[in-house]
Amino acid sequence: MVLLLFAAIGPGSNAADPIVRTPEEILAEAGDVPTPEAIHELFINCSEWDEPHADVRDASRQALVDMGVPVVQPLLDEWIASVDLRRRIELDDIITKISNGSTPYLIPFLINDDFIVRNHAAYLIGTVAFIKTLEDPKAVGPTSEDKPALDAVLAALQVETDWHVTRTLLTTIGEIRDPSQIELMATYLSNEEEAVRLGAVIGLGRIPTQASAAAAISGFTDQMMSVRQAAVLAVSSPTLGKFAFDALLGGAVLSPGGESPRLCSMEALWRYLSAIATDHSDYAWEQRRRAYSTAVSIIDASVDDTSWRVRGYAVEVIGYTYGGEAVHYLEALKEKETNPFVIGKIDEALERLDAGIPEPVEDDSEVTQ
């Protein structure tokens, strides 16, 4: 056990009184062009989580970020295959901050013999996708800056045999947001590997189009809860939820796939309403009105024929509609409801309605999908 722990932490962590130099000392010795040795020492400074390195950790990390693209290749060559958590966290942070300039150096690692390396490279390519710098969740790709990465990822996907990497490649395609790849990604929704289906759903959820929303919703019928939940989260974001809204209303009323996809529709609906809670636009109020009418019709249809789960989720929806009639309806419903789960949901919804709709925040924009 002791040996395993030491191996996981890495050599040097238990070294007595290690010599720790400041970034200024390291760079002064290296000169105008940072050497691989200097880059290595700076990286050790920021990726050692011990007390001797604490005072130089942040400054060393920032020094590497400030040097930019020239440090990417040495860092990747030395650390992209590392499974040490400290090294992985710091490498990912530095590469992410250097951003899209790292992409050309990551692409060759997609054909590495080690699946861990391929998976790590695919992940980082998605993380530094240029389209994210636009800070517009409704923007679609690929941008000209991301096109070489997308071509490389698609080529890698065609020959990849490891499901870990396939999953990550699919999510990375989603990060680049190319609507023309939706049909391809949807074919992986029937893959035998749960993780691959999960990656496809997550990737689809990152492409802000009607077609992507429809494809992600098909995940509601997956046999595995993890995939169904990923599909729910994908289509309940402020961006994709707008495209999925009508389909979610229809699925909440009646789903031919049974109760499970129906519950997914209802959960996605209330999560979407929660995500747009600070939106006071006429469009948002119209969606709340329609959601309220749908939820009430579901509960009123027949208590005997409507499961307690469905009623509970319908109450959740009502709790995010903020209309004055919602309070009166739920108070009356509580008088006749007998299921403790539903009663609990009614109490939660009434408390939320009593607090009122949240006020818009400054610059309230859809910065997340």
3-state secondary structure of 48: coil
- Res 13 pLDDT > 50: no
Convert the pLDDT of each residue in 249-264 to its tens digit: 999 987 666 788 999 9
Confidence of residue 301 (pLDDT cuts 50, 70, 90): confident
- Listed range (6-15, 123-132, 235-244) with the worst mean pLDDT: 6-15
- Res 29 pLDDT > 90: no
Report all structural domains of the chain as residue ranges with CATH numbers, in order of start.
98-235 (1.25.10.10), 238-355 (1.25.40)
Give dist(CA 307, CA 102) in Å, integer.
52
Q: Which one is predicted more confidently, 5 or 160? A: 160
Q: What is residue 255's predicted lDDT score, i.e. its pLDDT?
A: 66
Convert the pLDDT of each residue in 163-207 to its tens digit: 999 999 999 999 999 999 999 999 999 999 999 999 999 999 999
Q: What is residue 257's predicted lDDT score, i.e. its pLDDT?
A: 67
Lookup: tokens for 71? 């440090």
- Res 368 pLDDT > 50: no
Region 65-93: mean pLDDT is 95
- Res 10 pLDDT > 60: no
Please say whether the beta carbons of 248 and 237 come within 8 A: no
Lookup: tokens for 135? 């800070």
Region 59-78: mean pLDDT is 95
Could you tell me the pTM of the whole model? 0.86
Confidence of residue 312 (pLDDT cuts 50, 70, 90): very high
Q: What is residue 1's predicted lDDT score, i.e. its pLDDT?
A: 34
Q: What is residue 34's predicted lDDT score, i.e. its pLDDT?
A: 82
- Res 8 pLDDT > 60: no
- Res 9 pLDDT > 50: no
Region 198-224: mean pLDDT is 96
Instruction: Determine the Cα angle at 244 with ends 171 and 166, to 5°.
Output: 15
Confidence of residue 19 (pLDDT cuts 50, 70, 90): confident
Bond prior to 142 in cis (omega within 30° of 0): yes
Residue labelled with tokens 């390291």: 26
Q: What is residue 3's predicted lDDT score, i.e. its pLDDT?
A: 36
Q: What is residue 304's predicted lDDT score, i.e. its pLDDT?
A: 57
Convert the pLDDT of each residue in 149-160 to its tens digit: 999 999 999 999
- Res 21 pLDDT > 60: yes
Q: What is residue 16's predicted lDDT score, i.e. its pLDDT?
A: 55
Q: Which one is predicted more confidently, 169 or 32? A: 169
Convert the pLDDT of each residue in 87-130 to its tens digit: 999 999 999 999 999 999 999 999 999 999 999 999 999 999 99
Helix axis angle for 324-336 and 340-355, nearest 10°, is 160
Q: 147-183 in b/e burial notation, b at 16+ Cβ within 10 A?
A: eebbebbeebbeebeebbbbbbbbbbbbbbbbeebbe
Looking at every residue in the chain, the average pLDDT score rounds to: 90
Region 293-314: mean pLDDT is 84
Convert the pLDDT of each residue in 321-361 to its tens digit: 998 899 999 999 999 998 999 999 999 999 999 999 998 87
Confidence of residue 2 (pLDDT cuts 50, 70, 90): very low
In the chain, helix, strand, coil percent, each to 5?
75, 0, 25
Region 138-154: mean pLDDT is 97
- Res 266 pLDDT > 90: yes
